[in-house]
Structure 1
Amino acid sequence: MWRPPALLFLSLSGCFSIYGPESVRGPEQGSVAVKCHYDQKWETHNKWWCRGENWDLCNILIRTRGSEQEEKSDRVSIRDNQREHWFTVTMEGLRRDDTDIYWCGIQKFGTDLGVRVKVIIDPADAQQGWQGLAGDGGVDLSFSDPRLSQGKPHCRTFLYEHYPPLQLANQKALVALTHYILLVFVKVPILLILVGAILWLKGFQRVPEETWRQPVYMNLSSDLLTKDTAFPPWTPFPKEIPDVEETPLSPQDTATE
């Protein structure tokens, strides 16, 4: 199925991290074992078995505790083989109402990983045929490498399960949704950053020009005032003329006159 590049890119990180059979069958009152494989990096993570078609609302029936110890709960058990990187879920005492959608899952930070498995329980009148396959009334429908099996392996990520394979009309809606998400979370922030950078650069260029013009005007005004009030540099500063005392005329000078 074609998917938008954005969703495809985001789903690749969790894709092919866990594998399992697409569907398994078991006889009523018998047992069935499902083997799910995972990548080496998840070997110490908790593994779980969940029931319910809706991933968000499925009920986790049992989980491991980060070790290879087998865990049991009611009619379900789970064992993790961390050396071989697979875990097995066994359902016993099968009933007709056990037919449902289940999930092999890996607990991790953020969104868990999982693979969808459909379990089908055949009625008791078909049990004779099942006993021909497994003497204890049960059957092991796991396989050594699900990537090479007849069943198509599934890989579950958050986006894949919330946007499962769609018809053409829904694909167009998904493309529009992807474009809207990219517009809101990628294009708009980038546009705002560019606008802010342009405004900042314009303001940065304007401030130096204003601060440069103001001192020039001040220097021109001060030069004009200095030329009007100051003496030329070659004109000596005038000295004070000493006061001359008046000498009274003598009688002889008066007679002569």
Structure 2
Amino acid sequence: MWLFLVLFLPVVQGSYPLRAVSNAVSGPLRGSLIVQCRYDPGWETYKKWWCRGAEWSNCRILVITNGSEEEAKSNQVSIKDNRKLHTFTVTMEELRWNDADTYWCGIEKSATDLGVEVKVTIDPVTMQCHYGPEWDTYVKSWCQEADLNGCNILAQTTGSELKKNHVSINQKKRTFSMRIWGE
């Protein structure tokens, strides 16, 4: 009998009533992403929330439900509970580089809330230009502004050589590409 209890105990302790479908999600710059969190039966009428910050104890709640299935929205973040499926869905829209961070799915309860960590990243963006054979030896540049006279050059080539490692040239296909990551 003692052996049975020792083997059964870790299974009971490992059960947690809240889970993220994925603990790491990403979305495109200026696009959106969806996070789904599942909870066990019995938590249907509790408020669900989404907060931001690496520390669970200091995270800042961005959006919270009122305990119903009504969608709650704040700025570019919304949350909606589906009691029948025991799932709430968080949608982040108009993603920016600085949205990459640690977030938490949570359920408000007396004493300490339930929470599960979700890492959010923003996908890198690749921009590509095609050019004709007459431009093979010319300098190619990426500018931040539309006005070429006062543009801030982000990356530049000298002929077929590169000045920065996130720029590539494929002379066979005559393409000039730049991959941008958030900072």
Say whether the 8 Å CA contact 1:29–1:124 is kept in structure 2. Answer: no
Q: How much does 1:114 deviate? A: 0.8
What is aligned with 1:68?
69
Say whether the 8 Å CA contact 1:45–1:108 is kept in structure 2. Answer: yes
What is aligned with 2:120?
119
After the TM superposition, list the runs of 4 or more consecutive aligned residues in structure 1 that deviate by more than 2 angstroms.
123-126
Task: Write the distance in 2 (CA, Å) between the matches of 1:76 and 1:125.
Answer: 26
What is aligned with 1:16?
16
What is aligned with 2:94?
93
Larger radius of gyration: 1
Q: How much does 1:16 deviate? A: 1.9
Task: Write the distance in 2 (CA, Å) between the matches of 1:81 and 1:110.
Answer: 24
Q: How many residue pairs get matched?
A: 118
- Tell me the amino acid that sits aligned with residue 100 of structure 1: D
Gaps of 5+ in 2: 1-5, 128-183
Task: Write the distance in 2 (CA, Å) between the matches of 1:89 and 1:37.
Answer: 11
- Tell me the amino acid that sits aligned with residue 18 of structure 1: L
Task: Write the distance in 2 (CA, Å) between the matches of 1:125 and 1:112.
Answer: 40
Question: What SS does the corresponding residue of 1:56 show, helix, strand or coil?
Answer: helix
Task: Write the distance in 2 (CA, Å) between the matches of 1:49 and 1:89.
Answer: 7
What is aligned with 1:104?
105
**Partner deviation per Cα, 1:43-80 (whole Å, 9 max, x = no partner):** 11000000001011100000000100001100000000
Task: Write the distance in 2 (CA, Å) between the matches of 1:51 and 1:92.
Answer: 15
- Tell me the amino acid that sits aligned with residue 50 of structure 1: C
Q: How much does 1:12 deviate? A: 3.1
Identity of aligned residues (%): 53
**Partner deviation per Cα, 1:213-232 (whole Å, 9 max, x = no partner):** xxxxxxxxxxxxxxxxxxxx
Task: Write the distance in 2 (CA, Å) between the matches of 1:22 and 1:61.
Answer: 18
Larger strand percent? 2
**Partner deviation per Cα, 1:154-207 (whole Å, 9 max, x = no partner):** xxxxxxxxxxxxxxxxxxxxxxxxxxxxxxxxxxxxxxxxxxxxxxxxxxxxxx
- Tell me the amino acid that sits aligned with residue 107 of structure 2: I
Per the normalisation by structure 2, the TM-score is: 0.61
Say whether the 8 Å CA contact 1:48–1:64 is kept in structure 2. Answer: yes
Alignment of 1:154-233 (within 5 A): none
Question: What SS does the corresponding residue of 1:121 show, helix, strand or coil?
Answer: strand
Gaps of 5+ in 1: 127-257
Task: Write the distance in 1 (CA, Å) between the matches of 2:13 and 2:63.
Answer: 27
- Tell me the amino acid that sits aligned with residue 114 of structure 2: L
Q: How much does 1:122 deviate? A: 1.5
Q: How much does 1:124 deviate? A: 3.2
Question: What SS does the corresponding residue of 2:126 show, helix, strand or coil?
Answer: helix
Q: How much does 1:125 deviate? A: 2.4
Task: Write the distance in 1 (CA, Å) between the matches of 2:27 and 2:126.
Answer: 12
**Partner deviation per Cα, 1:93-114 (whole Å, 9 max, x = no partner):** 0001000000000001111001
Say whether the 8 Å CA contact 1:26–1:32 is kept in structure 2. Answer: yes
Say whether the 8 Å CA contact 1:50–1:103 is kept in structure 2. Answer: yes
Larger helix percent? 1
Question: Alpha carbon RMSD of aligned pairs, Å?
Answer: 2.0
Q: How much does 1:27 deviate? A: 0.4
Say whether the 8 Å CA contact 1:27–1:94 is kept in structure 2. Answer: yes
Per the normalisation by structure 1, the TM-score is: 0.44
